[in-house]
């Protein structure tokens, strides 16, 4: 078994890069800083029009293992794998129930892993990336793991049998909150025995704390304009604040499918003079806006399709920067937004409670400072990316190189 810092790892994602997935880039950069040899594999090309500037710091090469959909290329890869990969034909039994695209990409990934001498494959999200990695690891005879976040656990499209097969078959599984661990263990029992909680982390040198005693009377919200972010509740809360005569402004940074609906709601409720949809912004600009605001709002909800946030990275960033947060009691959020201690937590879908919490922080600078100081301490203890990435490397190093799985006790990983 190689030491964690000398392993060669393949990181597999659906698309790379993605504007909203800074948590993956943070993790990659932390691994590279520790000397880990990484190759990034993407199943699809990028589709975003904006990218975060920290991508320029990633040194790992990127391979796109796209599916052309051409039968002759499938058979070519199959024949090549038979020549290169020991035991490949026997491993084909694992492909039952998978579509041809997944099998084709898994063969390509396995051949690359073999040719590059990779020790381990890790997928982010339990969906298509994990499907491809499950097969590729079997073909290439390396260990594998995946990180499950939120949509890949809770969305109505999740196939429980498929997820159970991945939970049981992986050498290790990571998820991003204690809530997720408890949910998976309750739903999948012994098949979830290899699930470990490792929080997403931040490079704290990039998020310097500033006490929030003197801030603009501004509310800031950051995220994709989709149902689970609850920005419609924030717009409604803004209308309530306006009706109470509160002095404030609100900016919502991000893009997404609900932009038109939010714009219509802003106009209908008569808050266009106070609430602005800012569109996507580079992270450096987002940081500046968050540092200037009196409060960050993250009114997350469980969507009608079951989709929800696991633990929004923007909450961690705001807490690190010294901007007090108001969020909701959804999934793992109460693990960081401890009501009255590290932030204010309100029920989801409750615009009145959200408005009241926002008003408290807009008005009370002493409360802002007290909550922000405690929040920064929590981030330093539990969300340092270098410490958390080291735990992940230790978990990967402990995985069996024969792909038979190894159930570690969570304390061995979490410290």
Per-residue pLDDT of the chain (415 residues), as tens digits, is 565 567 899 999 999 998 778 899 999 999 999 999 999 999 999 987 767 778 889 999 999 999 988 999 999 999 999 999 999 999 999 999 999 999 999 999 999 999 999 999 999 999 999 999 999 999 999 999 999 999 999 999 999 999 999 999 999 999 999 999 999 999 999 999 999 999 999 999 999 999 999 999 999 999 999 999 999 999 999 999 999 999 999 999 999 999 999 999 999 999 999 999 999 988 889 999 999 999 999 999 999 999 999 899 999 999 999 999 999 999 999 999 999 999 999 999 999 999 999 999 999 999 999 999 999 999 999 999 999 999 999 999 999 544 443 344 444 444 4
CA 107 – CA 113 distance, rounded (Å): 10
Under CATH, to which class is 4-201+384-414 assigned?
A: alpha beta
Read off the pTM.
Answer: 0.91
For 10, the enclosing helix (H) or strand (E) is strand 8-15
Under CATH, to which class is 204-382 assigned?
A: alpha beta
Q: CB burial class (10 A; 0-12, 13-18, 19+) of residue 108? A: buried
Q: Within the chain, which residue ranges are assigned CATH 3.40.50.2000?
A: 4-201+384-414, 204-382
Q: What is the DSSP letter of 413?
A: H
The long-range contacts involving 93-101, CB below 8 angstroms and separated by at least 24 positions, are 94/134, 94/135, 94/138, 95/135, 97/162, 98/131, 98/135, 100/74, 101/67, 101/69
Which residue from 11, 41, 14 is spatially nearest to 26, judged by alpha carbons? Answer: 11
What pLDDT does 404 receive?
A: 42
CA 321 – CA 208 distance, rounded (Å): 5
- Pairing assessment for the beta strands 8-15 and 172-175 based on DSSP bridges: unpaired
Question: How far does CA 388 lie from the centroid of its chain?
Answer: 14
What pLDDT does 55 receive?
A: 87
CA 141 – CA 403 distance, rounded (Å): 7
């Amino acid at each position: 078994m190689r030491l964690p810092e000398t392993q060669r790892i393949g990181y597999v994602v659906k698309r790379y890069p993605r504007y909203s997935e800074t948590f993956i880039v943070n993790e990659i950069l932390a691994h590279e800083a520790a000397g880990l040899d990484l190759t990034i594999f993407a199943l699809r090309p990028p589709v975003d029009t904006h990218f975060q500037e920290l991508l320029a710091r990633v040194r790992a090469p990127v391979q796109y293992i796209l599916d052309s959909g051409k039968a002759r290329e499938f058979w070519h890869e199959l024949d090549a794998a038979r020549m290169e990969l020991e035991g490949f034909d026997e491993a084909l039994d694992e492909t039952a129930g998978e579509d041809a695209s997944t099998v084709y990409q898994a063969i390509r990934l396995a051949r690359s892993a073999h040719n590059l001498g990779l020790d381990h494959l890790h997928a982010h999200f339990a969906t298509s990336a994990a499907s491809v990695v499950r097969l590729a690891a079997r073909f290439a005879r390396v260990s594998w793991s995946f990180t499950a976040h939120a949509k890949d656990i809770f969305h109505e499209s999740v196939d429980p049998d498929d997820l159970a097969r991945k939970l049981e078959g992986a050498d290790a599984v990571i998820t991003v909150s204690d809530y997720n661990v408890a949910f998976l263990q309750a739903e999948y029992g012994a098949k979830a025995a290899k699930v470990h909680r490792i929080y997403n982390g931040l490079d704290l040198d990039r998020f310097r704390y500033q006490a929030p005693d003197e801030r603009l009377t501004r509310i800031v919200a950051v995220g994709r304009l989709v149902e689970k972010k609850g920005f419609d509740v924030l717009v409604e809360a803004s209308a309530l604040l306006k009706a109470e005569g509160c002095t404030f402004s609100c900016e919502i940074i991000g893009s997404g499918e609900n932009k038109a609906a939010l714009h219509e709601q802003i106009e209908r409720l008569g808050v266009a003079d106070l609430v602005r949809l800012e569109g996507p912004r580079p992270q450096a600009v987002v940081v500046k806006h968050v540092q200037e605001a009196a409060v960050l709002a993250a009114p997350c909800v469980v969507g009608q399709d079951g989709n929800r946030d696991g633990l929004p990275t923007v909450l961690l960033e705001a807490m690190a920067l010294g901007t007090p947060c108001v969020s909701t009691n959804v999934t793992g959020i109460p693990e960081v937004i401890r009501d009255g201690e590290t932030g204010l937590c309100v029920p989801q879908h409750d615009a009145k409670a959200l408005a009241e919490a926002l008003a408290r922080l807009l008005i009370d600078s002493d409360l802002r400072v007290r909550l922000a100081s405690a929040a920064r301490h929590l981030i330093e203890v539990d969300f340092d990316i270098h410490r958390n990435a080291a735990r992940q490397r230790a978990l990967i190093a402990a995985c069996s190189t024969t792909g038979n799985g190894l159930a570690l006790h969570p304390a061995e990983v979490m410290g």
